[in-house]
Amino acid sequence: MKLGDVLILSLALALSIIGIHQSMTVGIGGSYFIFMVAAALLFWFQLRRNKVLAAEKGTPPKPKQKKKR
């Protein structure tokens, strides 16, 4: 894991903890934005990790499929 991945994962964990604290004190409405940022960071971490794993295997990432009408 690279430094960027560690920072993204740590920030997502910290924001989750802050979001839990805010939801206990203010309510879920006040902490909704914090949870969404934490979720976006987790998705970004997963995307970066999948790209590294695909590069190690030597297979390119799957292209997006066009929807047929």
The pTM of the full predicted model, rounded to 2 decimals, is 0.78
**Closest C-alpha among 48, 66, 54 to residue 1:** 48
Encoded tokens for 31: 């902490």
Range picked from 1-5, 8-12, 56-60, 63-67 for highest mean pLDDT: 8-12
Name the pLDDT band for 12 (thresholds 50, 70, 90).
Answer: very high
Encoded tokens for 64: 């997006």
- Signed CA dihedral, 19, 21, 22, 27: sign only: positive
pLDDT computed for residue 57 by the predictor? 85
Query: pLDDT by residue (tens digit) across 27-68?
Result: 999 999 999 999 999 999 999 999 988 888 887 667 777 777
Look up residue 36 and give its amino acid. Answer: M
